[in-house]
Structures are given as C-alpha cells and as structure tokens.
Structure 1
Amino acid sequence: MVLGLTAGVVGGLAQLRVDTGTDSFLPAGDASLAAVEQKARSFGGDPVVVLLQSREPRQLLLDQQQLLSLLRAEGTLAALPDVAAVYGPATVLNQIATTAQNLLAQIAGRRDGLRIQAEQQAREAGASEQGVRRAVEHATREFDLRYGSLVVQGLPAGVPTLYSPNFIRTVAFDQSTGEPRPQWRFVLPAPDTVAILVRPREGLDQAGTQRLVEAVRGTVEGAGLATRTVTVTGVPAVTAGLAGQVTAELPLLGLLVAIAVALRFLLVPGAGRRTARLWPLAAALLGTTLALAGFGWLHRPLSFGSVAMLPLLLGIGSTFPLYLAALRNRRRVVVMAVASAGGFAALAVSPLPFVRELGLALALGVLCTVAAALLLRRGLADRIAPDPIGTGSTGAEPEARPRPRWGRRSAVLVVLTAVAGLGWAMLPRLAVEADPLELARGLPQLEDALVAEQVLGSSGEVSIRLSGPDVVSPEALAWARRAEAVVIAEHGGDVRPVLTLPSLLAFLGDAPTAEQIDAALELFPSYLRSAAVTSDRRSALMIFGLEMRDLGAQNQLLQDVRDVLPPPPSGYSADLVGLPVAAGRGYELISEGRYLANLAGIAVAGVVLAVGLRRRTDAMRATATALLATGWGLAIIWSVDGSLSPLTVALGSLVTVTGCEFLVLLAEARRGDERWLHRSVAFACLTSVIGYLALAASQLWLVREFGLVLTVAVLLSYLAAIAVMWLFPPGRRPAAGSGNTRENVRSASGTEVTV
C-alpha cells in the first residue's frame, strides 16, 4: 500500500505544472475574454515586444550590414513555433521595396503592352514605318502623362531596395525633422530605437509562452546587432517571468515554513520524544503532497495563487493533527476540518480563475491532511504523546469563575460590533487592484515593461474592432477615420494610435472610391494589411496604446472612449477589445461581488458546524467570531492602506477557517475548564501565523501582501474567539466522579447531560 501510494504521488507530481497566463487573471466565461480570444484567433495574441536601441541614430536601418542582420533576425523570429505574426522595421521596408518594384514592373509591362498593341494594329492597317511610330507615340503619350509624374516623384528615393540608403531614409523618416514617419511608429518609435512585435498564436499555454519568450531572447542576442540596450518585454514576457518566479518560490517558501513549524514543535517544552512531536508536520506535508499530486493527475495546472498554497497548508494543516492529539472527540476535529475546507472552497465564487483554484486547492489540501493525520495517528498510536505540547490537564476540579456583569459585557459588545460594522460598511469603498501587470509587481520583467512604456508611450494595447460585411468599404473607412480622429481629439493624452487602417491608407485622400481602395489593398503588402484587416474583410482593428494605471481610472477612460465613438454604419458593429477591457471587467465583477465573496465562506462554515456539531450554539458563536474578525480586518485595511487585492477581497472566507476552529476549541476548553486546551489553541494560532509570515519572503507584491494581511487576520480571529467566549460563555460540564467515565448523551427532551 505504501509503495502504491508513493508511486501515485510521484506520478501526480511529475504531471504537475504551473500556469500563470493572463487567462487566470481574467474573468472566465465573460464576453470580454471571449473578445480577446477572438482577436487572438484573427490577429494573434498580445505581442512579445523587443526594443533595440542602437549606439547611433538610424544605425540599425541605414547601415546595410545591420539592416540585413535585422532582417534575418525578424525572419528567424517569424519561423519560430507558436508565432502567428512578426512585425519589424526591416521586414516592413523589405515588403514596401518589393511592392514598389512590383508596381514599377507593372507600369513598365503595361506600357510595353500598349506599345506592342499599337504597333501591331498600325502594321495590320498597312501604315508606313513613320505611321507606326506615330501610332505608338500616341498610344503611350496618355499613359506616360498619367504615370510619369509618379515615377519622377519617386526618383529622389532611389531604387526601391534595401541596398539603397536613400530609399530607406525617404520611406522610414520624415525628411524635414529626421523623426520616424507616424505610420511606422509601432516599429520605429524613435530614431535610435526599433521595435519588433512577435505575436503568439491564440490558445498558447504557459509552457509554450515561456519557450517562445526564451526563443525570442536567444534569437535577438545571437543576431549580431550593434545595440546599446536590448529589452524583451510585453504581456507574454511578464507572465512567463511570473511563472518562473512562482515555480522557484513554491518549494523555497514551503521549505521555509516547514523548518519554522518544525522548530516550533521541537522547542516547545514537554514530555515525550521530540521526534514524535513532528508527526503533525509530517501529516501536513503528506496531505499537501497528496493534494498537489491530485492536481497533477487531474491535469489541472496550478496558477499564480499556488505560491501561497504550500505555506498555508503547512501552517494551517499542521494544526489539525495537533487537535487530534489534544481531543478524544475526533468527530469535532473532522467537522472543523470540513468547515475549514468549505470556507476555502467558497473562494470559488470569485470570477478570477487563479483565486478559485487557490480555494479549491486549499480545501482539498485540508481534507487530505486530516485523512493523513488519522492514518498516521492510527499507525503511530504507541509513539505519539497524547499531549504534544506538554501541558496536560492537572485533573483538578473546575474552579468556579464569576461571570462578568452583563452591563459591562454589553458595553464591550457595542464597541467591538461597532468597529466590525465600520469595516463591513467600508468594504464597498476599498479599492481593488486587479491589473494583471500590477499584480506582478516585484518581477524584474515588470521593470522592462516600464522601460517599454517610456519608449513606446504605452505598455498595453486596446483595439477598436469594427465588424461587418466589408470593413474596407468607403463608408466603413470613413467611419474609421472619424472614430480615430475623435478618439485622438478627446483622449489623445491617454491613448495613442499604434496601427490603424486609416493611417495605412492615408495616401488615398479623404474620400476614396471602392475601386481605389481595392487597388490600394492589392498593391499594399499583405504582410501589413493582415495586421489591420482579416482576409475576408469582415473585421478590422484600430490598435491604440495605453499606459499602466489604476483599473478604476482605466475603466472610466475606456468607457469615455466608447462614449465618443460615432455610431457605426448600418449593418456594422464596433466595440473595444483587449486585455485592459477584460481586466477592467474582472475589476467590475470583483467589486460587485465583495459581500458575496466575504460572506460565502462564513455561511458555508457556519452551516457545516451547525450540521456536524451537537451544540448549535457553538456554530452560532463561530459565525459571530468570523463576522467580528473579518469586520476588524476590513477596518484596519481601510484605515492603513485602503486597498484590497483579488486574494484579500475575500477576507471573510479566509478568516473563517481559523476563527471557527479557535472558537470551537475554546468552547470545549471552557466547558471542561481544560487550561491545556487553551494553550493548544494559542499554539495553533502561532503555527498558523508562522505559515502566513513565510509568504513575506516572496518577491511578489501580491503574495507578500496576502501573507501580511492573513497574519493580522489570524491574530484577529484568535482575539475575536476570546471576545465571543467572554461575551457569550458556554456552560461548564459537571465534574465527573473519581474513577467514573464521562459521556455526553442527549435526553428525550433534547438536553445534553453528562453520565
């Protein structure tokens, strides 16, 4: 059985993987996420951005060897697996040069065709040689007048080829200012900087994203470019860095809390073998390992919240074996464990997948830990000391303690309830941070994103998507021009055009006909056309850049952009799509469901305790403890920081776990005047605190904040349990006679008595 269990655990752990993709931070099943996925299918996902800063302005483009190296690097990137499209300045220039060559070839071929046709017709009519020459000159004169000026205008640019610096300088840069032309800013943000955008294919998982980012980094580093700095950033790069950080921190934080808890168990004075007192930690480790293996066998990846899972389970999970060692009534411990699992599982009401997965993982871990503790206790019954903290009952008769006067208790109750009520009342006013990039604060990749924001003017992108029967019809193009103009006029300081169809087709003038648009699209490189229009011409994007900002302000900005958009033509639809839109929707859902997220765990735990415990009053006291502790915690957050994260926004579900446990055990201790059990609760509180404090060692801001908030929350749970016990004390059990066995039974009237 042991060998089979070991094989199952190893097999599950071998299949375990970490996924911190943007999908885990966005509301699953929401229309905003579906729009992001649809955009990725048509145009590719959010890009990996490569910024190359040269030592001299325009060096990477005007130096022929550097330009060819850049072109080879872009071609290598485009050939990488899982790449949907690559946009870079060298490929853009090469495509334009090729198109210009084709255009000149078509012009020359058309002129030759007219000349041959005129000559043939004149000879068939019997014209002399002079007549044939006149016929040819007449046939080509009108053609030369039409296209000759176009060729003459293009002569200063030189031959359309990458080997012509004049051509590159004319096409890419404004001749009067030397700055990159506006339509190429998305790949030429500055004279000394070029940008390469690598768009991954849609549906790429986290492992594939990490491989892609590393491949992009390796390709650029080996390209032999004369660069001053190289920055690889973008949303995929940030999420790949986040996955690497989570994978690295998960075992380190788990080891840290395991050592701290082990030292705590070993250093507590008391009877019994010191090695035997480590069995609660062994049970927690076994239960946590079983839970992780279960995720592996179910092929469910661990998300961002998994970095908090192991320390929490080791800190909290090791208390349940402690309770089993301290109490003869195993039913009470099992009921508390199920209530704790229910409190954690209530996190499933969160709209964000990574919060839901954390709650389900913790719930499964608690149940596995209790099961492991029961098995270990049965197998090691003769080696486990009955009192692991060495503070066994003295056997003395319970001392009668005077009950506090109700007047004093009522005053304390009013004060404590008022503070908790303030916290619950302030819950809707607390800010919630749910930006996928901001949640990764602490990663070096986020610093690269800020560098890109300074160079490009934005760190994220949002798109106006136009859908309809023909998005490049004259009326659709006219609408797109009006939409771009009004967005820039109203919000140009906050959103910046990156790549839009009106800017690509600006050379057509203000009112092109359908024939002119079709001709332009035929001549325009498909490489660039596909970045803004789908091949069936039923969907077009206008991409704008956004800076990182508070999600509440960003949501308002996006709504303002929607409000200023002109009505689309009949039969067409227009909407905003992109990660900022989906992240904003997640922010709205979290904000709307704050009370549900906090009350769900309290309600589930209260119901489990009411059904599982013989005394319904204990369930009521436990619920009151959770409500008080949560309210106090929210009041402290409001007075100190005033903001919540997606993890701490469901503080009630997390506080419930420890609050209910402490109350039930303190009630049991008071009924029997078992002071050693009071100390066991304090010891369990300390062990949980150690588990939470281990998270402060993380480099990720969200994980550190989560650990510090829960450290305070578990202390508040302990204080709230003591306060509830003082305000609403349970009755003590009558002392049993010497040598008699005590047993609680229920009489016919429903009253519990001790026999």
Structure 2
Amino acid sequence: MGGARRWSWRDAWSWLGLNLGRRAGLVAAVGLLLTIVLGLGVTLLRFQTSNASYLNANDPAQIDNHRYEHYFGGDLIVTMFTMDRGFTVNDLFTPANVAAFERVQAALHKDPSVFSVMTPLDAVTLADRLLAEPPGSVDPTATVAFHLLFSALQREPSAKGKAVLSAYLASSLGQLDRVPPDARQLADPAWVEVLLHNPNGTLRAASEAFFPNDGHAAMFIFLKGHQTIAQESAAARTVSRIIDATHFQHARTLVTGVPELLRTINDYLTGGFITLGAIAALVMAVILLLLFTVRWRLLPFAIVAVGLVWAFGLTGYFHIPLTLGSIASLPVLLGVGMDYAIQLHSRVEEEVVLDRAAHPIQATARNLGPALLVVTFDCVFAFVSLAFSKVPMVRQFGWLLVVGIVAVCVFSIFGTLAVLGVREYRSPTRGRDFSRGFLSRLAVRLGKVSPRAAVPLILISGVILVGGVAVEGHLKMETDPIQWIDPSAPTVRAMHEVRAGIGSDNYFQVLVSTDHPYSDQTVDFVDQLSRQLFARFPHELYLGSGMVNLVSELTDLPGVQPVPPTGAQVREVASLAPPDIRRTLVANGGHELGIVFEAKTATLEPLTPVVDDILHDVHPPKGIQATPGGIALVGVGLIDNLQASRSLLTYLAVLFVGLFLAVRLRSVWRSLLSLVPVVIAVGIVALATWALGVQLSPMTAVSGPLVVAVCTEFTSLMLLRFVEERARGLDPAAAMASTASRTGRAFMVSGLTAVAGIAVIASSSWPLLRGFGVVVGLNVAIALVCALVVLPPILVWAERNCRNVVSRGLTAAVQETPRTGGRPPSSPAPSRQPVVDPHAEPAVPLSRILTGVRDD
C-alpha cells in the first residue's frame, strides 16, 4: 500500500459517471420531478415591453418622461381621416359625422387606459367659439378671435406689419359676411370653410395639427402614462374596434401609432418566440440526422429540449421578464446546449469504440466534465457583461442567459450521461472508427496550417482587432422603429400611409412647468421656445402645438413680426377650449403646459440634438422649467444608451472571459490563445459591417457578448482537449492531429447547430431580428473556422517554441495512462469486440472517494 492521497474533483466526476447510469431509476424519478416543478415556472414568464424596459428609473430621460406622462398622458394613437374623391375636410362635419364623433369620444372615454381624445370636431368647435359673437351682440369684431387680431395690431411695432394685419382684418370681415348668421352651423360646409381657412384659402395655422391639408384630418387619442404593453395593446384593440365599427360619411379611417406598434410587437413576441424556436429545432434535428453518425442521433435534441424547460422555468421563478431581445435567447440556448450534449454523446462513443474503455461513462465524465464546466463559466462571464448595460431589457436578457446556460449545462451533463449509461449497460455500442469519417478528416485538414504561420496569424488578429475597434464609432444604427418590424405588417403599411397623408406619425413633446400660470412671462417663454426649436431644427420639427401656440398662431401672418399673446388671452382661449383639448395641453391650473411637436423625421437619431438643445441650451426665467418628454424622448435615450454600450459590452465580455480563463487555466498565455479566434471574428464582422455600410439594429448591441460566449466555448474545448492529448505523451503535432480527428465530428456538428440556432433568427420577417441573426451567425461561423484553422497551428507553435506553455502545469491534473485501445489517427481501426460493463465498480472504491482519501 502506498501513501494516501486526497480526493480530487476528477474522482467526483468518476463517481458521478458511475452512479448516473447505475441508479437510472432514481435519476429518472428525480429528473422528472425537477422537470415538472421547473416546468411550472414557465407559467410565470411575463413579457415586458414598456418604457420601464428601455431606460433606468434614475435615467434623466425616464424621469422627465415620467413627469410629462403624469400630466399629459402617454403614448399616442392617431386616427387619420382621408376624404373621398370630390370631398374636402369642409364636408367632414355632417350631422351624422358630428354624432359619430361624439359617440366615438364617449366610447373611448370609457376605456380606463385612455387619457384624452381630441377629435377634429373639437378643433372646429373651438374655432366656432372663437368666432361666436357675445350674447345679444351682432358685431363680429366683438368675438374673441377679432379681439386677438386687434390686440396684435396695436402691439405690432412695424408699419408694414400693421398694414398686413389691417388688410387681413378687412378680408376676414368680408369672409364672415359671405356666410349669413343663420347659416353659421357646423353642418354647413361654407361655415366650416371659414373656420378652417384663411380668407386667401389656405388652412389656418392654429388648426394645422388637425387639418394638415384639405384631403385629410386627424384625431389624437392619448393613453394614460406608465402602462404596460398588455394595457396599451388592449387599448389599441379597443380604439381600432370602435373606429372600425363607426361609419363616417365622405371619409375612410385609418388607426395607427406607438400603441399599435407595441401591439404588433407583443403579438410577435407571443407567437414569433415559439415559431423561431420551432424553426431552429427543425434545422438542428436535420443537421443531427444527416451529420451526427452516432446511435440515437436525436438524443442531444431531446436532452436540450428538457434543458430549455429547466432554463425558462428558472427564469419564471426568478421573475426575469421576457422582452423583445429575449427572442434571441432561445436559439442561443438551443445552440450552446446542443453543443454540450453532442460533445458528451460523441465522447462516450469515442471511449467505447476507439479506446475500449473499461468504464466509458466514467471516462467521459472524468475527461470532459471539467472542460464543460470551464466553457459554461466562459458563457456565464460573457453574459454577465450585459449586466453593465444602461438598458434594463439588455440586463434582463443577460440574466436570462446566465440562468439559462447554467440550467442547460447541468441537465445536458446529467441527462446525457444517465441516458447513455443505461444504454451502454443494456446494449453496448459496437460502432466503427468515426475518426476516419468525412467531418473528422475535414477537421484534420483545416488544422494542418503550418505552425510557422502562428506568429503572422497572431499579428493579423491584433491588426483585425485594432481595425474593428477603430471603425466601431462609425457604425450606424437603424433608428426608425418602423424599419425594425415586418415591412408587410398592416401596422407598417398604416404608418407609411399616415406619413404620406398628414406628414408625420412621430411626435416629440415638451413640458413647461411654471410658478406663475398664465403670466405674460410664462406665455412669452413658451412662445419663444416653440419658435426657437422650430428655427433651429427646421428639418426635424414642425411648429409646436400647445395652448400658447394655438393663440399665437391665430395672429401669425406672413410679413408680420410674431407678437406673443398675453397671459390673459391664453387663459380666455383655454376656458373656451373643449375639455379634451384643454386636458391635453394644460394641467394643474396652468402650472403645467404641454407642447406637442410633429416630427418631420421618422427616425429617432435626428431628434437627439433637439433633446440636447432643450436640456443644455434653453435657459428659462426663474420659476420656469422646460423638459422634454414623450415616447420620442425615451427612444432617443434608448438609442443613445445602446450605441454608447455596444462596443463596451463586447470588450467587457472579452475581458471577463479572459480573466476567468487566466485564473482557471492558471496561465495568461493560455487565456490569450483561447481568445485569438474570438477577436478575429469580432474584428472581421465590425470591419465588414463598416465597409458594406450595413446599418445595425438595436439588438446588435447584445450580439458581442453572445459571440464571445459561443466562440470561447469552441476554443476552450479545443485547447483543453489538446492538453489532454499531450498528457498522454503525444508530441504537439500528434496531439493536435488526435484532437482534430477524435473531436472533429463533434466540433463540426455542434458548430453547425450553434450557427443554425442563432442564424435561424435571420429567417425572421422582422429586420430587427434578421439583422441580428445574420451578424451573430456570421460571427459564430467565423469563430468556428478560426478555432479549427487558426488555433491549431498557434497551439502547436506555442507548445514547441515556448517551453510547453499550453500544457505546462495542466498535464498533471489530467494525467492518463496510455489508451488501451488507442492508436495514432493514421493506424487501422480496431476490430469490433465487446466492451466492458460501463457500470462496473470503479478502480477507486466509493468509500475512499467519499472520505477524501484513497490508496495509491
């Protein structure tokens, strides 16, 4: 008897490999129970696509938007009225249509998600009140509208401006005289013509938001703020149902807006999530059937299917919400989990067929189990980098992947070893030498690059990395939300039609808070702010709409210097405004004023300087504050945060994985060697994206860490298998040849399934997901090729010329006796013969393992 040595982790893996198959009944019962319990967690999964998913609660943009929505509501639904041929907006207010507007407004107010409903009827009603003569008076100049014009005339500083105003007053009186007093009803198109048009026939600026041209009108439904996607989706359905069920004479309607967009996203989340997973599963099953030449070829698929139940069950129990980015998690977890199961399955048959191992399940667990833990932590540390994102939904996506990859890894190891343990005990595999198969020979051929090319390859990888970093700041992101979803979706067609009809479907809002409601100072500031923003950003914004703007626009005439209205005038007009207009533009007794700008741009990025201008270049008087708000502000903040963190997350993932490998492999050099293919893949895709001018989608902000995770999985497994072959006494070249021939099949099949699992997203009809699938799939494919082509010569060169830097210090931990059935890859395959019972007692007594010592 020799001296006692302490129990090691490799002994634990041996014990695990023995008992998973030997106690199959108990393992199956426990596994089934855990699967049922964790499966119940899937019912707790919730989709979340609200503003809370896009920005942190303490983000200034989120705070400003939260405050705006508190006073003036949240997202906007727009209903566009398109007049029939031969009719104009003057014909929209028939008695039947007026009744229809009133019914629609009353019905929508019953929906608890609706904040306000501003109809075209509200707009003409206000105009009618402004031109209404006081009771008992027949003097048209006594109306509020003419009082505003006379006030502007008195305050107009220039003689030219006074002349223009005087002429406009005279022509306006003539316009009124053409409609008899008893005909001044909304049912009369001639009176509506007066309400909506200037004497020269142009549409009045004060009503332009509702009537952008003679052929179209708009109705605005603001939903309450701080709602979930489910609430907004339900509200969007209610609005569509009510509008579609209402007939308007001489016009057809079209409903669209952000809530409609969110409803489309929600429907795709609930349906597309399953569809993409099913497509990925089908593609992977085909790859396994065609290329994975083992018994029970679809076993990895079944193993991963149960692993995904564990993954998403734990996600539900941890209350990690699903977002749009979560769609990408299913193919990623499928691909990585499939790799685990394929590697284990292939290794078991390698131990049986090639090495005639006495205990193949134990040998597989002992030799491959530790490596799979290493690559699992590779993935975990890569995904943890997503926790440093400024965007909540990216962080939630990261934690979903962390929980999911651990669950998939655990079940892939336990499930595969247990099932194959039972199979090998009852029906031992009698396969042929797969190391001479097509995939293995291809892997050997790909890795035959001369070791002398190692240094140039390392230098090239550095150049590629530097180049990729250099162009990162020049990559463009698609910021038009409509371009993110299926272009054939009805929502997209509707938004395009609305843009063509009324000029915009994108809105930007500003909240002005004042300690002095309806003061001249407050009104003057709001008026100047609106004009200033419009002057500075003429290609991004139309002139703002608000209570102050509405009064100011009543006297805005070409050739007349703008004169802000007085606070008293704004208060008077506000008192005449229909309730929904007043509620949408004025709150808290006039302390809060809202300004709504229609955006000329459909994309979010051009609005960034507008936000910056309000935050940094607008200096209101004491007691007044101006802050941006609305969904456009949230979108701008989201894009800014995604762009700022895109490259950071990638390099954090590389750093975290590199540090982990340096500690786990006890060598900085081994860590750096593992990362060479990764940086090549990341750099090449960045350069290609820049050179081709491809616009990235917001989801590509999370692609970097995914690529790092999947790529380091390949490289770490290859490096550790190379070390294992070196521990058996093979020289570097022979060790690499043995690694390629024995693992080539598993690497090729698992690589293809990983690429397919991710690239299947490219089959999505949504550009947002399709671009992500293409970019990430291309990254992974390049990394797989680099792992098979670039890494082998580098490992061989480093081992030969740097004093065994790859294996030094690790071979003792994986020291193996020479293979009893092994032979060089070029030797003939052994004849078939029965294998030893895989569940025979291990060479190390179980009691010794549990007590921590054993006999040498």
TM-score by length of structure 1 reads 0.83
Equivalent residue for 2:210? Answer: 187
Secondary structure at the aligned position of 1:203 is classed as coil
Structure 2 residue identity aligned to 1:358: F
* Pairwise CA distance, 1:43: 0.5
Aligned to 1:80: 111
SS in structure 2 at match of 1:531: helix
Task: State the partner residue of 1:728.
Answer: 795
Q: Does 1:268 align with 2:291?
A: yes
Instruction: Determine if the alignment matches structure 1 residue 311 to structure 2 residue 335.
Output: no
Residues of 2 paired with 1:100 and 1:408: CA distance? 86
In structure 2, relative to structure 1, the CA distance for the partners of 1:79 and 1:612 (3 Å cut) is same
1:714-733 C-alpha deviation (Å, 9 max, x unpaired)? 12212332313312334577
Equivalent position of 1:544 in the other structure: 597
Q: 1:584 aligns with which of 636, 644, 647?
A: 636
Tell me the distance in 2 between the aligned counterparts of 1:521 and 1:665.
71
Q: Amino acid of the residue matched to residue 584 of structure 1?
A: V
| Contact kept in structure 1, 2:116 and 2:583, CA below 8 Å | no
1:298-337 equivalences under 5 Å are: 298-325=318-345, 326=347, 327-328=364-365, 329=367, 330-337=369-376
In 2, Cα distance between equivalents of 1:678 and 1:406: 19
Aligned residue type for 2:419: L
Alignment match, 1:629: 681
Counterpart Cα distance in 2 of 1:106 and 1:388: 107
State the alpha-carbon separation in 2 of the partners of residues 38 and 738 from structure 1.
Answer: 71
CA 1:101–1:681 in structure 2 vs 1: closer, same or farther (change >3 Å)?
same
Pairing of 1:435-450 with structure 2 (within 5 A): 435-440=480-485, 442=487, 443-450=489-496
The one-letter amino acid paired with 2:508 is V
Deviations 1:530-551 (A, max 9, x none): 2222133222122111133554
Change over 3 Å in CA distance of 1:153–1:472 after alignment to 2: farther
Say if 2:774 is the partner of 1:708: yes
Q: Aligned-pair distance for 1:302?
A: 1.0
Q: Distance in 1 between matches of 2:757 and 2:429?
A: 22
Amino acid at match of 1:620: L
Match in the other structure for 1:172:
196
Q: Deviation at 1:47?
A: 0.7
Which whole-Å CA distance do the structure 1 matches of 2:93 and 2:712 have between them?
71
- Structure 2 residue matching 1:496: 3-state secondary structure: coil
Q: CA RMSD in A?
A: 3.6
Deviation for aligned residue 1:655: 1.8
Which SS does the other structure have where 2:255 is aligned?
strand
Cross-structure match for 2:653: 601
Q: Which segment is superposed worse, 180-189 or 503-512?
A: 503-512
Structure 1's unaligned 5+ residue stretches are 109-148, 744-754
Cα distance between partner residues in 1 of 2:452 and 2:80: 70
What is the aligned partner in structure 2 of residue 638 from structure 1?
A: 690
One-letter code aligned to 2:66:
E
Moved more, 654-663 or 298-307: 298-307
CA distance in 2, matches of 1:605, 1:552: 33
Measure how far apart 1:616 and its partner are.
Answer: 6.0
Distance change >3 Å, CA 157–CA 186, structure 1 → 2: farther
Of 284-293 and 206-215, the range deviating more from structure 2: 284-293
Bigger mean CA offset, 594-603 vs 578-587 = 578-587
Aligned pairs (5 A) from 1:178-577: 179-226=202-249, 229-268=252-291, 270-272=293-295, 274=296, 277-325=297-345, 326=347, 327-328=364-365, 329=367, 330-383=369-422, 408-440=453-485, 442=487, 443-506=489-552, 510=563, 514-549=567-602, 551-559=604-612, 565=618, 567-577=619-629
Give the whole-Å Cα distance in 1 for the aligned partners of 2:185 and 2:682: 69
Provide closer, same or farther for how the CA distance between residues 647 and 570 of structure 1 changes in structure 2, counting only shifts above 3 A.
Answer: same
Q: Quick one: which amino acid aligns to residue 458 of structure 1?
A: S
- Considering Cα pairs closer than 8 Å and 6+ residues apart, tell me whether 1 or 2 has the greater RCO: 2
CA 80–736 in structure 1, closer or farther in 2 if over 3 Å, else same? same
Once the two structures are superposed, residues 354-397 of structure 1 have per-residue CA deviations (whole angstroms, 9 ceiling, x without a partner) of 32222222222211111222331343133556999975569xxx
Q: C-alpha deviations, 1:302-361, integer Å up to 9, x for none? A: 111122221222122211122233244312212211221221232222222332222222
Counterpart Cα distance in 2 of 1:414 and 1:3: 51
> 1:683–1:195: structure 2 CA closer, same or farther, 3 Å change rule?
same
Question: Offset at 1:564?
Answer: 7.1
SS for the counterpart of 1:530 is helix
Q: How far did 1:238 drift? A: 0.9
Structure 1 pair 357/440, CA: closer, same or farther in 2 (3 Å)?
farther
Distance in 1, matches of 2:582 and 2:467, equals: 57
CA distance in 2, matches of 1:105, 1:607: 86
Question: Are residues 286 and 409 of structure 1, via their aligned partners in 2, closer, same or farther at CA, if it must alter by over 3 Å?
Answer: same
Following TM superposition, by how much is the alpha carbon of 1:63 offset from its aligned partner in structure 2, in angstroms?
2.2
- Over the matched positions of the two proteins, sequence identity in percent amounts to 20
Size of the alignment, in residue pairs?
Answer: 693
| 1:158/1:338 CA distance change after superposition, 3 Å | farther
Question: What is the aligned counterpart of 1:698 among 739, 764, 772?
Answer: 764
Distance 1:228 1:64, change over 3 A: closer
Cα separation, partners in 2 of 1:278 and 1:390, compared to 1, 3 Å: farther
Which residue type is aligned with residue 231 of structure 1?
L
Task: Give secondary structure in 2 for the equivalent of 1:499.
Answer: coil
Q: CA deviation at 1:61?
A: 2.4
Residue pair 2:321, 2:396 contacting (<8 A) in 1 also? no
Q: 1:191 to 1:595 in 2, by over 3 A?
A: closer
Q: For structure 2, which runs of at least 5 residues remain unmatched after alignment?
A: 1-29, 140-172, 348-363, 437-443, 556-561, 726-737, 822-841, 845-855
Could you tell me which residue of structure 1 aligns to residue 45 of structure 2?
Answer: 16
Distance 1:309 1:388 in 2: 37
Find the aligned partners of 2:604 and 2:247 in 1 and give their Cα distance.
40
Is contact 1:665-1:681 (8 Å) kept?
no
Do 1:157 and 1:167's aligned partners in 2 also have CA atoms closer than 8 Å? no
Structure 1 contact 61–90 (Cα < 8 Å) conserved = no
